[in-house]
Amino acid sequence: MPVSSRSVVVPLIVACALFMEQLDSSIIATALPMIAKSLHTSPLHLNLAITSYMFSLAVFIPLSGWVADRFGARTVFRSAIVVFTLGSVLCGFSQNMGELVAARILQGAGGAMMVPVGRLVMLRTVPRNELVNAMAWLTTPALIGPVLGPPLGGFIVTYASWRWIFFVNVPIGILGLVLATLLIPNVRETNKEPLDLRGFILMALALSGLVFGFETIGRGMLPDAMVIGLLVGGAVCLGLYFLHVRGIEHPIIDLGLARYQTYRATITGGSLFRIGIGALPFLLPIMLQIGFGISAASSGLITFASAAGAVFMKVSAARIIRIFGFKPILVVNTVINVVFLAGCAFFTPGTSHTAIFLFLLIGGFFRSLQFTALNTVAYAEMPATLISRANTLYSMLQQLALSLGVAVGALLLNLTMTLKGGAELGPTDFWPAYIGIGLLALLSLPSFMMLPANAGAEMSGHVTTTIARTKHGDPA
C-alpha cells in the first residue's frame, strides 16, 4: 500500500474500532438511568458499569504493546474486536448489576487491545509529517459514535429495551473484523522484549485498589474498613512497582518516558484535564433525565451536541494547530474548556433546550481541539524505538483519568446529597459537581504553560512555516 494511502486507510480502519467503542460508551451514559431502574439500583451505584469498563481498559492496556509485538498487530487487533463484541452480547443478556459489571470488564479487556494496538499500527506506518492529518482521519469517523450514541441510546431505551444498546455493536464488530483482515498490516517488533509479569501484577493490583477504593468512598457500598484497605493496598502496590522498575530493563510501564518534556506535559496536564472532562458524559444525562425530568430520547437529542461540535472541529483542527502551534492552543483552550465545563452549573429546568444544545455544541468544538493537540504532541520528541512503550503508558493513563472522572462526578453528587440530607437527586444538586470538575481541569494549565514555544513544531508545521518565510525575506 502506498504511503499516502496508508495515511488515510489505516486510520479509517482503526477508527472503525474506535467508533464501536465510542458508540458503546455514549449509549450507556444516556441509558444509565433507565438501566438502573430496570436492575433496581441507584444510577450513582450503576456508574460502576462505566468505571469498571474504563478500569479494565487501564489494567489490560499495559499488555497491548507486548502482545502486539509478540503476535503481530493485526492478529491482536482482530482478536480484540471479537472479545469486545462478545462482551457486548453478554452485557445485553445481563440480569443484575454484578453480571453487567463483569461483562463490561470483559468488554474493557477487548477494548484495551483494540484501540491502543490500532493506534500503534498507525504510529508505525504513517510518516511523522502526516501524523496530524492521520489523527484527524482517525478521530473524525470515530466521533460519529458519540454523535449517534446519545440520541440512539435515548431512542432505544424509550421505545424498546435497553439491552439493544449493546447488540448494535455486533454488526460493527463484524465489519471491523473484515476490514482489519484485508487491509491492516501485521506489523511487529523484530526485537521482542520479555514480559514484565511481576510489574503487570503489581500495577493491576495498584489500579484495582485505588480505583475501586476511590469509587466506593462515602457510598455505603462497602464497609469503611474495606474501602480503606483497598486504598492502602493499592498505594502499597504502587510503591512496590516504583521500587520494582528500578531494577529491570524492560518494565511493563516505563515511567522513565516522563523525561521527554512534551510527553510529560501531556500525561500530567492531559490526565488532569481528562478527569474533569470524563465526568461530563456521566453527569449530563442524569441531570437532564432525573434532575430536570426530561425523557431519555430528548436527553439524547440534547447531549449529542458535544460530539457534533467535536466533528465540526476535526475538519479544521490540523490547520488551526499549524497556524497557532501546540503550546498556545493547549494553554488558551484549557481556559475556554474550563468555562464550558463549569458553565453547565448554571443549567436549570427552565433553561431552554436550544440554549443547552448550543452551549454543549460550542464546548464540544473546543474540547475536540484540545484532545487532537494532546494526542499528537505527546509523541513529538519520542524516539521511534520507544513509541510502543509511550503509547502503552499514554493509553493507560488516558483511560484511568476518564474512569476517575466518572468516579469524581459520582462522588461530588453523593457528597452534595449527603450535605443536604436528601435521598434522591434534585435539579439543584448538580452545580457543585460541575464547578468541581471545572477546577480539576484547570489544574492542567501549569503543565501546558511549561512547554517550550516550539513544542511539536515538526508535527504542526507552525515554526517551520515561520522559518520559511524568514528565509524568503518575508516578515515572521
Closest Cα partner for 23 from 118, 205, 147, 138? 147
Residue 84 lies in a domain: yes
CA–CA distance, 165 with 159 (Å, rounded to integer): 12
Cell of 381: 520528541
Same domain flag for 125 and 219:
no
Q: What pLDDT sits at residue 138?
A: 67
Asked if residue 9 has pLDDT above 70, the reply is no
Same domain flag for 394 and 297:
yes
Asked if residue 392 has pLDDT above 70, the reply is yes
Range of the domain at 235: 196-251
- The mean pLDDT of 433-447, rounded to a whole number, is 92
Closest Cα partner for 459 from 395, 386, 378? 378
Read off the pLDDT band of 343 (50, 70, 90): very high
Question: Given phi > 0 = left and psi -120 to 50 = alpha, else beta, which region is 456?
Answer: left
Domain count of the fold of the chain = 2
User: Which of 77-86, 143-152, 240-249, 400-409 has maximum average pLDDT?
Assistant: 77-86
Asked if residue 188 has pLDDT above 50, the reply is yes
Provide φ and ψ at 184, rounded to 5°: -85, 125
Same domain flag for 327 and 393:
yes
CA–CA distance, 296 with 290 (Å, rounded to integer): 10
Same domain flag for 106 and 214:
no
- Rg of the chain's alpha carbons, rounded to an integer? 22
142-146, 233-237, 267-271, range with the lowest pLDDT: 142-146
Read off the pLDDT band of 174 (50, 70, 90): confident
Residue 191 lies in a domain: no
CA–CA distance, 421 with 468 (Å, rounded to integer): 64
2-11, 34-43, 80-89, 273-282, range with the lowest pLDDT: 2-11
Residue 162 lies in a domain: yes
Q: What pLDDT sits at residue 476?
A: 32
Alpha carbon distances (Å) from 192 to 60, 68, 126, 350, 356? 19, 10, 22, 60, 51
Crossing angle of helices 296-303 and 305-314, in 10° steps, is 20
- In the listed set 251, 266, 287, which residue is the last one of a domain according to the structure? 251
Write the pLDDT tens digit of every residue in 230-261.
889 989 998 999 898 887 877 888 888 888 88
185-189, 258-262, 358-362, 420-424, range with the lowest pLDDT: 185-189
Tell me, what CATH number does 103's domain have?
Answer: 1.20.1250.20
Q: What pLDDT sits at residue 466?
A: 44
Q: What pLDDT sits at residue 316?
A: 77
**In the chain, % of residues over pLDDT 90:** 16
Give the contacts of 295 (CB within 8 A, at least 6 positions apart). Answer: 154, 158, 289
Residue with cell 431502574: 37
Residue with cell 444516556: 30
Alpha carbon distances (Å) from 316 to 232, 373, 375, 400? 46, 12, 16, 29
Same domain flag for 318 and 465:
yes
Give the contacts of 89 (CB within 8 A, at least 6 positions apart). Answer: 166, 167, 170
Same domain flag for 316 and 385:
yes
CA–CA distance, 76 with 83 (Å, rounded to integer): 10
- The mean pLDDT of 103-109, rounded to a whole number, is 90
Query: What is the CB neighbour count within 10 angstroms for residue 370?
Result: 24
Residue 356 lies in a domain: yes
Q: What pLDDT sits at residue 465?
A: 46
- In the listed set 251, 271, 293, which residue is the last one of a domain according to the structure? 251
Q: What pLDDT sits at residue 96?
A: 87
Q: Provide the total of helices (H) and of strands (E) in the chain, helices listed first.
A: 23, 0
Residue with cell 456521566: 282
Q: What angle do CA 210, 275, 204 make, to 5 degrees?
A: 30
Residue 71 lies in a domain: yes
Same domain flag for 231 and 304:
no
Asked if residue 471 has pLDDT above 60, the reply is no
Cell of 139: 478521530
CA–CA distance, 205 with 287 (Å, rounded to integer): 34
- The mean pLDDT of 159-175, rounded to a whole number, is 87
Residue 103 lies in a domain: yes
Residue with cell 499514554: 394
Same domain flag for 202 and 286:
no
CA–CA distance, 195 with 66 (Å, rounded to integer): 7
User: Under DSSP, is residue 322 helix (H, G, I), strand (E, B) or coil?
Assistant: helix
Read off the pLDDT band of 467 (50, 70, 90): very low
Same domain flag for 88 and 159:
yes
CA–CA distance, 179 with 86 (Å, rounded to integer): 18
Residue 422 lies in a domain: yes
Read off the pLDDT band of 400 (50, 70, 90): confident
Q: What average pLDDT does the chain have?
A: 81
Give the contacts of 373 (CB within 8 A, at least 6 positions apart). Answer: 317, 321, 326, 329, 330, 333
Same domain flag for 455 and 397:
yes
Contacts 24+ apart (CB under 8 A), 387-391: 387/120, 387/123, 387/124, 388/65, 388/68, 388/69, 388/120, 388/189, 389/65, 389/254, 389/257, 390/254, 390/257, 390/263, 391/65, 391/116, 391/119, 391/120, 391/123
Residue 189 lies in a domain: no
Same domain flag for 328 and 387:
yes
Give the contacts of 246 (CB within 8 A, at least 6 positions apart). Answer: none
Asked if residue 464 has pLDDT above 60, the reply is no
Same domain flag for 269 and 300:
yes
**Total residues found in the chain within this entry:** 476
Which residue type occupies 389?
A: R
